[in-house]
Amino acid sequence: MSEAVDFSTFIERKADGTAHIALAVEGIGCAGCIRKIEGGLTKLPGIVDARVNFTQRRLAVDWRDGAIDPARIVSELERIGYRAHPFAPERAEASETQHTKWLLKCLAVAGFAAMNVMLLSISVWSGDVSDMTSDTRDLFHWLSALIALPAAAYAGQPFFQSAFKALRARHTNMDLPISIGVILALGLSLYETATHAAHVYFDSAIMLLFFLLCGRYLEQAMRRKTRLFAGNLASHKAAFAHRLDGNGELTQVPVAALHPGDRVLVRPGALIAADGAILTGASEIDESLVTGETVPRAVHAGDFVYAGSTNLAGALTMRVVAAGGGTLVDEVERLLRKATEAKSRTVRLADRAARFYAPVVHATAALTALGWLIAGASVHDAVVTAIAVLIITCPCALALAIPAVQVVAAGQLFRSSVILNSGDAIERLAEVDTVVFDKTGTLTLPDPEVDTSTIDPDLLERAARLALSSHHPLAAALARQVRLRAPYASAVEEPGRGVRALIDGKEARLGSAAFCGIDAHTAAVSAPAGTSFIAFAHDGQVARIIIGQAPRPDAVAVVQALQARGLDLIILSGDRPDAVAAVAAQLGVQQWMASLTPAEKIAVIELLKSKGRRVLMVGDGLNDAPALAAAHVSLSPITAAHLAQTHADALFLGERLTPVLRAVEVTRRARALIKQNLVLTVIYNACAVPIAVAGLVTPLIAAVAMSGSSILVTLNALRARLSVAPPQLAGEAAQPPAQAEPLANATMEPTR
Amino acid sequence: MNVLVYLVPAALLLGLAGLIAFLWTLRSGQYEDLDGAALRILSDDDLEGRTR
């Protein structure tokens, strides 16, 4: 490639004269890959260090600045068989990583303190029934205080900070009763130690922090993992654009580095990288990813085109426009803002529980103190009993009940090729009763397929071999049918028209109808709805090869399975009615609407919502993005437009539609387990609170009850892992779903 | 009970040593790539040149 590549936005230069780049690498799958990549790169001159992170499928390279062109690193990786994509970590990801580390530090400190305080506490408990003197007990209590107080001050920060933030915003969250419980337990224990009392609660307070931090850390690790993975996928998709500089030179730049006003060359077959107006050239563009319309649109100088469309025929130069002067993009953005605002009003289950829990617990404690005072107990005894109630009801199990299940369910979804974008998507997916599908690219495969049923195989082979020499996207679909991957040596591509070559001494042509000598009008009339065709002429034979959107291979089975589970299915498409009707009939979906604008899609979803339906929207196009944001919960295939991906709650990988079904099943099961866990914690409190109110709680009972309930809830969550077998769909027996290692599979996904 | 005078500090110091070791491994990024570490140990590149 003679064209220069500009990586400068991704390179980080350090003070010691080295430069650093992070790359997301596709296809790392085994130990050999690590050696091959690191060994191959360190052989290059100027490379200081190359380190593969296998978990994250990323590569960090350092080199002496100026000694080597970073483009050479990428091309060397390509040569040894890996596609690498420069990668700029989002700020959100960096702060997630920071937060994960902080939680882990807190967890380590709490764990250390819990072990040592427990060591002392067990000595005291056994000393109570044997011959320990009260002086020794006091010494042990002081030692516990020495360990527990600084440790709690450090490890409790995540809870104290969050509770303080909630208080300042004048509402409560789960961290408020936690913080109050921990601080009161520590304060009471310190007072009791100073007054030589027998019972202190240092162990309970610090163990509580340890268990809670386990839950927090697991939740955070899950969020970070999906974030990292989504970041990798985004970089795989991030396209390069060909920028025309002032002096007419072409530079390859990452799309992120394009500015309004830049001139960009779009070659035939390439994706249009930014919204803009065409300056020169005429072509046909495929806007199926943007509007859902499957029939190409003819464009000329002055027309507006959207990012995500594919240029089909001739080369175009265009000027990048910042705000998207087109009506569609403006409209989509306006609708998105509204839809996202509406969605943030849904309240998470955990927060609903917290809103109910905190006042009840605090009222119980206050009533306990009051009751004992009225019954004639001393102020000291009444307060001690009230604090014991707070300690024993501290929502340890409740705080673990939901995240533990979510972490297990997210892991299962991950293995079923579903990646969550937002943590509470599991809750919302489980509530779904209506599924709205987009057609193009969602129910159908994102890439067009050749209809092979009516063509002579020998002719198809010749046409497909000829198609290998073409850059046209429709020809690419045809070229996938080829058995012998050997292009004809004499093939010549005429941009915008087709390819011709000499086969067995006679000229063969593949391309537009006119190029092959067919009357374009009669050829188009008999083509089925929603399809395109390529003409092929050779040795007096003329054929039309029909290329159209094929449904995903398991679409019919998934649709039936979803209907069998009592879900209502609706197709909302921007495509023409006859094309939508054909797919709906094929899949057995009764309700469908066609030719919808983004606003109309939202209107339909709002109507469903007003009837009390919980809508799952599955869509991939730019025109689906507002509907995705407006729906109760949303899913997108990984091939979706960037805007749709960022607004979907979860993404699914691969050619199959099964992940949609799996998502519904796994989350429904997760919701059942969450409910069980909440019931378990209620039972625990129903047993423990009367004991605490009666003033019978000793530190030993508190410790056993608290860790017992936490472990019970966690074990119950792990059941989600044991019992869900992948669903067997009708009509597919042998093919195992992509269970093995979705990370490895995903990184090998073809990118466009 | 005089034995406590050195047993308790010894227990605490050992625990503290473990904590410091953990914080050090965290700081030096040893949890960044757990899957990679499991695979790297199988590669014997580092022996080349020494054995031959």
Of the candidate ranges A153-157, A308-312, A458-462, the one whose mean pLDDT is the lowest? A308-312
Residue A438 annotated in active site = yes
Chain A to chain B, count of Cβ pairs less than 8 Å apart?
Answer: 53
Q: Which of A514, A548, A582 is the C-terminal boundary of a domain?
A: A548
Q: Does B13 touch chain A (CB under 8 A)?
A: no
- pLDDT for A436 equals 92
User: A111 and A74, same structural domain?
Assistant: no
Residue A342 lies inside a defined structural domain of this protein: no
Residue A730 lies inside a defined structural domain of this protein: no
Residue A405 · residue A724 · CB < 8 Å: no
- CB-based contact B18 A112, cutoff 8 Å: yes
pLDDT over threshold 60, residue A708? yes
User: A641 and A581, same structural domain?
Assistant: yes
Q: How confident is the model at residue A91 (pLDDT cuts 50, 70, 90)?
A: low
Residue A363 lies inside a defined structural domain of this protein: no
**A2 CA to chain B: closest CA distance, Å?**
36
Q: Does B12 touch chain A (CB under 8 A)?
A: yes
Q: Residue A84: CB partners within 8 Å, gap ≥ 6?
A: A23, A24, A25, A26, A59, A73, A74, A77, A78
Residues 316-355 on A with a CB inside 8 Å of B are: none
Q: How confident is the model at residue A330 (pLDDT cuts 50, 70, 90)?
A: low
Q: Which range scores top for mean pLDDT: A552-556, A618-622, B42-46?
A: A552-556
User: A303 and A191, same structural domain?
Assistant: no
Q: pLDDT tens across A651-705, in order?
A: 888 888 889 999 999 989 888 888 888 888 888 888 888 888 888 887 778 878 8
Residue A398 lies inside a defined structural domain of this protein: no
What DSSP string runs through A49-118? EEEEETTTTEEEEEEETTTS-HHHHHHHHHHTT-EEEE----HHHHHHHHHHHHHHHHHHHHHHHHHHHH
CATH number for the domain harbouring residue A7: 3.30.70.100
- pLDDT for B16 equals 92
Residue of A35, A116, A143 with shortest CB distance to B43: A35
User: A567 and A437, same structural domain?
Assistant: yes
- pLDDT for A4 equals 65
User: A563 and A428, same structural domain?
Assistant: yes
User: A437 and A584, same structural domain?
Assistant: yes
Residue A738 lies inside a defined structural domain of this protein: no
**A664 CA to chain B: closest CA distance, Å?**
30
User: A158 and A54, same structural domain?
Assistant: no
Q: pLDDT tens across B12-35, in order?
A: 899 999 999 999 998 888 888 888
Closest among A575, A548, A583, A580 to A477, alpha carbons compared: A548
- CB-based contact B12 A31, cutoff 8 Å: no
Q: Does A37 touch chain B (CB under 8 A)?
A: no
- pLDDT for A345 equals 52
pLDDT over threshold 50, residue A412? yes
CATH number for the domain harbouring residue A429: 3.40.50.1000
User: A130 and A211, same structural domain?
Assistant: yes
| Per-residue three-class SS string for A635-670 | EEECCCCHHHHHHCCEEECCCCCHHHHHHHHHHHHH
Q: How confident is the model at residue A21 (pLDDT cuts 50, 70, 90)?
A: confident
- What's the rounded Cα separation, in Å, for the pair A485 and A473? 17
pTM to 2 decimal places? 0.73
The one catalytic residue among A438, A620, A624, A649: A438
Task: State whether residue A233 is helix, strand or coil.
Answer: helix
pLDDT over threshold 90, residue A15? no
Closest among A224, A35, A24, A55 to B33, alpha carbons compared: A55
- CB-based contact A108 B1, cutoff 8 Å: no
- CB-based contact B15 A112, cutoff 8 Å: yes
What average pLDDT does the structure give for chain A?
80
- What's the rounded Cα separation, in Å, for the pair A334 and A736? 43
Q: What is the mean pLDDT of residues A586-595?
A: 88
- CB-based contact A52 B36, cutoff 8 Å: yes
Of the candidate ranges A273-282, A392-401, A624-633, the one whose mean pLDDT is the lowest? A392-401
Residues 79-138 on A with a CB inside 8 Å of B are: 101, 104-105, 108-109, 112, 115-116, 119, 133, 136
CA–CA distance from A231 to each of A419, A626, A639, A747 (Å)? 12, 22, 14, 12
Q: Is the dihedral of CA A546, A551, A557, A559 positive or negative?
A: negative
- pLDDT for A371 equals 92
User: A465 and A603, same structural domain?
Assistant: no
Residue A411 lies inside a defined structural domain of this protein: no
Query: Which strand (E) or helix (H) includes residue B34?
Result: helix B34-40
Q: pLDDT tens across A465-520, in order?
A: 888 877 777 777 788 777 776 778 778 777 667 888 888 888 888 887 778 877 65
Q: pLDDT tens across A722-752, in order?
A: 655 554 444 443 333 333 333 333 333 333 3
- pLDDT for A186 equals 92
What is the domain extent for residue A595?
A: 422-444+552-664
Domain count of chain A? 5
Secondary structure E strands in A476-632: 492-494, 498-503, 506-511, 531-538, 541-548, 568-572, 591-593, 615-618
Q: Does A250 touch chain B (CB under 8 A)?
A: no
What the block records as the tokens of A99 is: 């937060």
Give the neighbor-by-neighbor strand order of the sheet with A240-244.
A4-5, A250-254, A240-244, A263-266, A316-320, A276-280, A304-305
- pLDDT for A506 equals 84
**What own/partner pairs with CB < 8 Å and gap ≥ 24 does A489-496 have?**
A491/A466, A493/A469, A495/A268, A495/A313, A495/A314, A495/A315, A496/A268, A496/A283, A496/A313, A496/A314
Which residue in A53, A57, A146 has the most chain B C-beta atoms within 10 A of its own C-beta, making it the best mutation to test that interface? A53
Q: pLDDT tens across A348-387, in order?
A: 666 677 777 778 888 888 999 999 999 988 888 888 888 8
Residues of B in contact with A101 (CB under 8 A): 26
User: A518 and A604, same structural domain?
Assistant: no
Q: How many CB atoms lie within 10 A of CB B49?
A: 7
Q: Is A406 exposed, middle or buried (0-12, 13-18, 19+ CB in 10 A)?
A: buried
- pLDDT for A157 equals 94
- What's the rounded Cα separation, in Å, for the pair A632 and A627? 10
- What's the rounded Cα separation, in Å, for the pair A272 and A305? 8
User: Running DSSP on this structure, what letter comes out for residue A203?
Assistant: H
CATH number for the domain harbouring residue A96: 1.20.120
Q: Does A55 touch chain B (CB under 8 A)?
A: yes
pLDDT over threshold 70, residue A572? yes
Residues of B in contact with A147 (CB under 8 A): 12
Task: State whether residue A317 is helix, strand or coil.
Answer: strand
User: A100 and A82, same structural domain?
Assistant: no
- What's the rounded Cα separation, in Å, for the pair A58 and A748? 14
